[in-house]
Amino acid sequence: MRHLAPLVLLALLVQPGLPSARAEEPAALPGWPSERVAGQRALEKALNALPSAERLRRWHDLFCAEPHPAGTAGDARLIAAMAEAFRGMGLETDVHEFFAYMPTFEKAELSVAVGQVLVHLPLREDALPGDPSIAREIPPAFNAYAASGVAAGSVVYANYGTKEDFERLDALKVSCKDKIVIARYGRNYRGFKAKFAEARGAAGLLLYTDPADSGYVRGVPYPEGGFANAASIQRGSIKTLPYPGDPLTPFVEATKDAKRLDPATLALPKIPVQPIGWTAAREILARMRGREVPKGWQGGLPLRYRLDCGEAPVHVRLKVVQPRSIQKTANVIGVVRGATHPDEMVVVGCHLDAWTFGAGDPHAGSIVLYEMARSFAALAKQGKRPARTIMFANWGAEEFGIIGSTEWCEANAQALLGHAVAYVNLDMAAMGPDFRSAAAPALKRVIEGATRDVPQARAPETTVHAAWSKRGEGTVPFGNLGGGSDHVGFYCHLGVPSCSLGGGGSRGVSYHTAYDTLAWYRQVVGEDYEPALMLARVGNVLVSRLANAPLVPYTIQRPFADARVHLEAMFGKAADKEPAAELRTRLDVVRQKAARVEAALDRAVAEGRCAGARLDDVNRQLLSLERAWLHRDGLPGRPWYRSLYAASDPHSGYAAWMLPLLRGAVESKDRARIAAAVGVYMAALDKMEAHLDALDRLSQEE
Amino acid sequence: MRHLAPLVLLALLVQPGLPSARAEEPAALPGWPSERVAGQRALEKALNALPSAERLRRWHDLFCAEPHPAGTAGDARLIAAMAEAFRGMGLETDVHEFFAYMPTFEKAELSVAVGQVLVHLPLREDALPGDPSIAREIPPAFNAYAASGVAAGSVVYANYGTKEDFERLDALKVSCKDKIVIARYGRNYRGFKAKFAEARGAAGLLLYTDPADSGYVRGVPYPEGGFANAASIQRGSIKTLPYPGDPLTPFVEATKDAKRLDPATLALPKIPVQPIGWTAAREILARMRGREVPKGWQGGLPLRYRLDCGEAPVHVRLKVVQPRSIQKTANVIGVVRGATHPDEMVVVGCHLDAWTFGAGDPHAGSIVLYEMARSFAALAKQGKRPARTIMFANWGAEEFGIIGSTEWCEANAQALLGHAVAYVNLDMAAMGPDFRSAAAPALKRVIEGATRDVPQARAPETTVHAAWSKRGEGTVPFGNLGGGSDHVGFYCHLGVPSCSLGGGGSRGVSYHTAYDTLAWYRQVVGEDYEPALMLARVGNVLVSRLANAPLVPYTIQRPFADARVHLEAMFGKAADKEPAAELRTRLDVVRQKAARVEAALDRAVAEGRCAGARLDDVNRQLLSLERAWLHRDGLPGRPWYRSLYAASDPHSGYAAWMLPLLRGAVESKDRARIAAAVGVYMAALDKMEAHLDALDRLSQEE
């Protein structure tokens, strides 16, 4: 490279796609022994030279060839292909089979009758000549775990079917009893829409995609644009048990011979539930002649929305045949064994099952995972194995209720509790160039650091971090990790600091529809695979640091700082009178200690004063500090959820509840319960402070 | 009534429809000689015993029998019928003819072509079997003063066609040059949509009713409900000259032989403009394939809205044949001559011309006016004539640009300047039971007072005032009177304190459509004519007080208090640094003096210390005080608008501009202009203060 003219050099520096192509100085690596930094940077550079757009595209072709819901033949073929691909890279490969209680989609029918007019409504998308996947095979639409049976009755419209929406219907004296409820997707997890409708005696439930939420009101529909069209149907599970995973084996692995619950004892849906597109919904809604909807309930269809049918009932008949049985499927795990600390683990995962073709959900993440796995495998072949073990996991049966990852966590609970450093989730990761992440506070520093050293997709003159913080107007906007994907077992059940990485900013929605195809993805997200490349590079740097950092790269103080923010969001900035004042003061004290210990540890390790067995002790303490957020009894009514820091919102599903034991107590308005919850958090903080004291001592010793 | 049991008494007190049926004490009459109060109350009671629902209904039948735009045969027949009705009451009746430059609606055609598909689009509403008016005769839709000619081109969508919307198109480099612009109704006066489109070189303009603004997004469409349906077309004028009235005779009456401007010199529209319904609009919008609209521009049709046609032009052809000529029409005035002060006048008006049948616009006001006229005429026959003259005016050709009332004001300018106490406008008054009023500040006290003594429509156990202030959460919410109806000549040109009275709260919109029929009105506003009864009673009390009060019942201090609020709205509450600080201080001083003078005058008259010739002097000073808001030069660029207090918004038309000379200067950001405007207001305040000093002296003399 000598003798190149300056202009050529400059051109090389800003050439798209080169991961190191930035004019800035590399960001600092806090807590790294100074003599190890250059080696780590070289390693990262070598890793990030490997991912390629062409490879990402080939993985995508391989994974999205056919529909593959869990338990189907397509699922089995993909499991085999994924395992073969890992083996081809030279990874230790484990096909972890499990046996879960899952639905089989046999048949559904929907009709609407007014007077003598009988209309049969479509339950699968239209074929599109421009989309080869869809021209070939359109899978019918279902809601997993809907009851089999026939429901018939007149119709009630329930807006988004949230808790508040159903309470509004109650207040307006609109009865759902023996009615077919129709609700639009959005604002909560669809399982809660079904749960609330069933609780009110509904005969059945129709879930539809309204154009105001995902269709022409938001943008041009597919195939001209990327948004939902009149035929698009969002499939999805409606299971709302108080634990994820196999319904019959909470807390334990769903092995072939596991001791199982009796399905009859479970609160699985008891009414038929069916997803539809707005072509079908319009045939029903346009025929309703009852009371007008309240403000905010009008959707985007060209008609006045009504709550009910008034004097002119609209007869809807829904038949769902969806038997449930114990079926086999699997997780596919590829392992790069750690060179010096093989029992310590970093797990990277994305589910493998898909409602249809899965080009976006999940394989916009799987392709990133495979390019990361290929990068680490290639370096391992050159003898550059990471210090800790890295596991690349394709999880089975996520779509039916986060089953594969939950079973694997339950199977490996002791090892994970003791030695898992972090879990990184990639579900649907590469959906656009705008980086985003939801994360446990302990991981926020190392994630931010990784994004400082990777160029932004389609704008390589800047970094991912710069583009991300620009969107956040100066601070990088991390999301709160709640429910909804495969991190739940790691994070909420086992206390392993977890995060999701992803990218947004594309103009479209094909989520859980038959249009979640390669043609859709390449038209809407792009042909260039730049977002996936960006995420593979951020993931490589992040996982390499998690797996190699001599000092486990948690920020110790951030969890206390963030908890303080969550506490304030719960109680407002009101004075000390409120019940959590004691907890707030305690958090401030512990946070100050944590900040001191964090700085002392970083210094001690950087200066080589803490290494070897003592550093191993430090890392053990760091993991224990994080596990101290676990509460042995779990949350009230859902003991599987053990994290005192984060859980899914029990009334909406997707959103996160922070400090959930306290949040639940506050919502109950029961002063005794609030006081008890504060007591639990105070005790946890005592435990954490003991770990901090131990870390303090370890950082001081010479 | 003796011997009635208490329960029966209670039932009588709350019996619907009895105007005096209230448990409260009658409100005080500030400024009335105490010995005159009982007589006035008896008079009001007698007046308000006269209006009846049955009569209101019959007036409505009479006025809405056929379409009657100005200048048509229907218009001439209605003028004759209205004059006959006044004569039948025994009123002095004047058919005031005028000769204005107006359009004749001959023909319009609209088609859209894509490839070989040619679609002719509807330009009149559908017949409705349930609506007898419509089953008979559907008038075609036009925009008055659109240019005749043929426009053809591809299409640009301009949202509401506001100043901001067109500036957004400019910023997005969407050219309107040689295009057919399509814009939705709403947010500004339609004339400005045409003006802005023409200024950008558009070939033609289509104005349509979007379902998001008036249709199914807001409520159930007609005929099931009251809102716009797919066929509804809003007609309307697009004239935007800097003066209302006849385009050829600004400042002077449009007599047969008046000196006229050359039409070729006027800024009347130079492009064809046509109103359409959303059936027609959808045929065009659904074919557009260009750039997507920005946020807030998506309407309620089931399609993605686009700014333009991209690579696939949509060929629209619009032909409008609408010749303009000098045509005769008339105002119809009925007069109750004043007994003691016949030269002092209170004018009550509502226009008579209608775009179609006019059941709402204007005759929801005309029926109120006729029941008021009948009430005062009946009392006059019994010898109970008011002190001042009351004129009941049906204005001609309001819909083409406030022509009849403007010509009448110009014809009678000197008498009105010298002796008009107030103008009360009733255009579209009785559209629902929720009372509302926009008013000059001087009239707010007497309007409020009148509403305290009339029972609320459909809730006679409460007063109009109580229901009105409940909706305003404690204070009665007066609107600011701006442009848009027949008060403009009185208020903005001649400085006569004016107000509009009306009622809202019905679920529907038929404004300027062929569905503005009796059937629509009786279905949507109601069969009971309770809102019209309520307004006739409020109007009777208000006009009786304006015509009989020995002391002209203005509040003297309120204009200064309100001006202070408008000044604050213009500049914020910022410190004294801003240019209007001087004006603010001055307003405060004058307001304090006005409050003192108001109290002193009220006391002096109530106690009989001020009467006869001295009271006449007081009343002359009060009228002069109000006229002191007039500025001889008028506003920059529109000298016809002489009020320094209120004008129409020159960029949107309907909205009011308060303190308009200053507002215009502030918008120009020209410091010298602002300083000059402040100077004009300071000089006007000096003049007002001189009147206040004169009033002060008159209130003191013994």
DSSP state of A696: H
CA distance B317 to B315: 7
Boundary residue ending a domain (A522, A548, A574) = A548
The verdict on B600 and B644 lying in the same domain is yes
CA distance A228 to A515: 9
Cβ-based neighbours of B362, under 8 Å, separated by 6 or more: B350, B351, B352, B353, B354, B398, B426, B427, B428
Long-range contacts of B134-137 (CB under 8 A, 24+ apart): B134/B514, B134/B515, B134/B517, B134/B519, B137/B66, B137/B67
Percent of chain B with pLDDT over 90: 88
Helices (H), B391-486: 403-411, 413-419, 444-452, 464-471
Chain A residues touching B508 at Cβ < 8 A: none
Residue A222 lies in a domain: yes
**Is residue B482's pLDDT more than 90?**
no
CA distance B310 to chain A (A): 13
Chain B residues touching A227 at Cβ < 8 A: 304
CA distance A685 to A693: 12
- Tell me how many domains chain B contains: 3
CB contact under 8 A, B220 and A301: no
CA distance A677 to B278: 58
Mean predicted lDDT score pLDDT of chain B: 93
| CATH number, position A563 | 1.20.930
The verdict on B190 and B259 lying in the same domain is yes
CB contact under 8 A, A292 and B221: no
Among the partner-chain residues A221, A301, A303, the one whose CB lies closest to the CB of B304 is A221
CA distance A19 to B164: 44
The verdict on B115 and B93 lying in the same domain is no
Counted across chains A and B, CB pairs separated by less than 8 A come out at: 36
Q: Domain range for residue A307?
A: 105-322
CB contact under 8 A, B211 and A292: no
Cβ-based neighbours of B403, under 8 Å, separated by 6 or more: B70, B98, B100, B102, B244, B245, B246, B254, B329, B396, B397
Cβ-based neighbours of B638, under 8 Å, separated by 6 or more: B242, B243, B647, B650
Residue A553 lies in a domain: no
A491 or B573, higher pLDDT: A491
B226: nearest CA in chain A? A304
For residue B25, the model assigns a pLDDT of: 55
Strand partners, B439: B499
Count the neighbouring beta carbons within 10 Å of the beta carbon of residue B394. Answer: 34
CA distance B595 to B610: 18
Q: List C-alpha distances in Å: B570 to B557, B574, B657, B659, B671.
A: 20, 11, 10, 9, 15
Mutate to test the interface with B, among A209, A213, A217, A305 (most CBs of B within 10 A): A217
Residue B553 lies in a domain: no
The verdict on A578 and A658 lying in the same domain is yes
Least confident of A697-701, B461-465, B488-492, B554-558: A697-701
The verdict on A395 and A304 lying in the same domain is no
Residue B30 lies in a domain: yes
Chain A residues touching B225 at Cβ < 8 A: 292, 304
**Is residue A3's pLDDT more than 80?**
no
Cβ-based neighbours of A195, under 8 Å, separated by 6 or more: A238, A240, A269
CB contact under 8 A, B298 and A224: no
Boundary residue ending a domain (B322, B342, B372) = B322
Closest CA to B625 of B681, B685, B582, B566: B685
Cβ-based burial of A701 (10 A; exposed 0-12, middle 13-18, buried ≥19): exposed
State phi, psi for A391 to the nearest 5 degrees: -115, 125
| A304 touching chain B per CB within 8 A | yes
CA distance B609 to B673: 46
State phi, psi for B443 to the nearest 5 degrees: -95, -5
The verdict on B373 and B423 lying in the same domain is yes
SS3 A297: coil
Query: Of all residues in chain A, what percent are helix, strand and coil, respectively (each to 5)?
Result: 40, 20, 40
Give the pLDDT confidence of B165-179 residue by residue, as tens digits: 999 999 999 999 999
For residue A618, the model assigns a pLDDT of: 98
Closest CA to A154 of A174, A188, A180: A180
CA distance B156 to chain A (A): 17
The verdict on A536 and A420 lying in the same domain is yes
Residues B139, B145, B147, B149, Cα dihedral to 10°: 20
For residue B474, the model assigns a pLDDT of: 85
Cβ-based burial of A6 (10 A; exposed 0-12, middle 13-18, buried ≥19): exposed
Give the pLDDT confidence of A144-179 residue by residue, as tens digits: 999 999 999 999 999 999 999 999 999 999 999 999
Chain B residues touching A221 at Cβ < 8 A: 304
A218: nearest CA in chain B? B304
| CATH number, position B172 | 3.50.30.30
CB contact under 8 A, B302 and A211: yes
The verdict on A369 and A284 lying in the same domain is no
Give the pLDDT confidence of A61-81 residue by residue, as tens digits: 999 999 999 999 999 999 999
Among the partner-chain residues B216, B292, B301, the one whose CB lies closest to the CB of A304 is B216
A224: nearest CA in chain B? B289
Boundary residue ending a domain (A527, A548, A569) = A548
| B216 touching chain A per CB within 8 A | yes
pLDDT grade, residue B154 (50/70/90)? Answer: very high
Give the pLDDT confidence of A361-397 residue by residue, as tens digits: 999 999 999 999 999 999 999 999 999 999 999 999 9
pTM of the model: 0.89
CB contact under 8 A, B292 and A211: no
Mutate to test the interface with A, among B209, B213, B214, B217 (most CBs of A within 10 A): B217
| B304 touching chain A per CB within 8 A | yes
Pair A567, A580: CB distance under 8 Å:
yes
Angle, CA A144 vertex, CA A143 and CA A145 arms, to 5°: 115
Mutate to test the interface with A, among B304, B307, B309 (most CBs of A within 10 A): B304
Mutate to test the interface with B, among A304, A309, A507 (most CBs of B within 10 A): A304
Cβ-based neighbours of B399, under 8 Å, separated by 6 or more: B69, B70, B144, B235, B236, B237, B351, B353, B354, B355, B512
Give the pLDDT confidence of B654-689 residue by residue, as tens digits: 789 999 999 999 999 899 999 999 999 999 999 999
* Strands, E assignment, A457-557: 459-463, 498-504
CA distance A536 to A137: 31
Strand partners, B619: none
CB contact under 8 A, B219 and A289: no
Cis preceding linkage at B342, omega within 30: no
Among the partner-chain residues B224, B227, B302, the one whose CB lies closest to the CB of A216 is B302
Among the partner-chain residues A216, A289, A301, the one whose CB lies closest to the CB of B304 is A216
| B302 touching chain A per CB within 8 A | yes
Give the pLDDT confidence of B191-231 residue by residue, as tens digits: 999 999 999 999 999 999 999 999 999 999 999 999 999 99
Handedness of CA B263, B265, B266, B268 (dihedral sign): positive
**Is residue B372's pLDDT more than 90?**
yes
The verdict on B129 and B93 lying in the same domain is no
B278: nearest CA in chain A? A302
pLDDT grade, residue A577 (50/70/90)? Answer: low
Give the pLDDT confidence of A198-226 residue by residue, as tens digits: 999 999 999 999 999 999 999 999 999 99
CB contact under 8 A, B302 and A304: no
Residue A29 lies in a domain: yes
Among the partner-chain residues A221, A224, A304, the one whose CB lies closest to the CB of B220 is A304
Strand partners, B235: none
CA distance B196 to B204: 11
Q: List C-alpha distances in Å: B291 to B210, B294, B308.
A: 20, 9, 6
pLDDT grade, residue B20 (50/70/90)? Answer: very low
Pair A452, A465: CB distance under 8 Å:
yes
A493 or A130, higher pLDDT: A493
* Strands, E assignment, A289-410: 315-321, 324-336, 341-351, 388-395
For residue A573, the model assigns a pLDDT of: 58
| CATH number, position B37 | 3.40.630.10
CA distance A318 to A120: 10
The verdict on B641 and B694 lying in the same domain is yes
CA distance A303 to A316: 19
CA distance B224 to chain A (A): 9
| A303 touching chain B per CB within 8 A | yes
CA distance A97 to A396: 9
CA distance B17 to chain A (A): 29
Pair B185, B513: CB distance under 8 Å:
no
Closest CA to B117 of B287, B280, B285: B287
Mean predicted lDDT score pLDDT of chain A: 93
The verdict on B373 and B243 lying in the same domain is no
For residue B702, the model assigns a pLDDT of: 62
For residue B74, the model assigns a pLDDT of: 96
Residue A614 lies in a domain: yes
ipTM: 0.86
CB contact under 8 A, A219 and B304: yes
Give the pLDDT confidence of A289-308 residue by residue, as tens digits: 999 999 999 999 999 999 99
Note which residues in 220-239 of chain B have CB less than 8 A from chain A: 220-221, 224-225, 227
Q: List C-alpha distances in Å: B479 to A630, B162, B186, B440, B649.
A: 61, 22, 18, 9, 14
Cβ-based neighbours of B310, under 8 Å, separated by 6 or more: B288, B289, B290, B291
| B303 touching chain A per CB within 8 A | yes
State phi, psi for B327 to the nearest 5 degrees: -125, 155
| A289 touching chain B per CB within 8 A | yes
The verdict on B366 and B447 lying in the same domain is yes
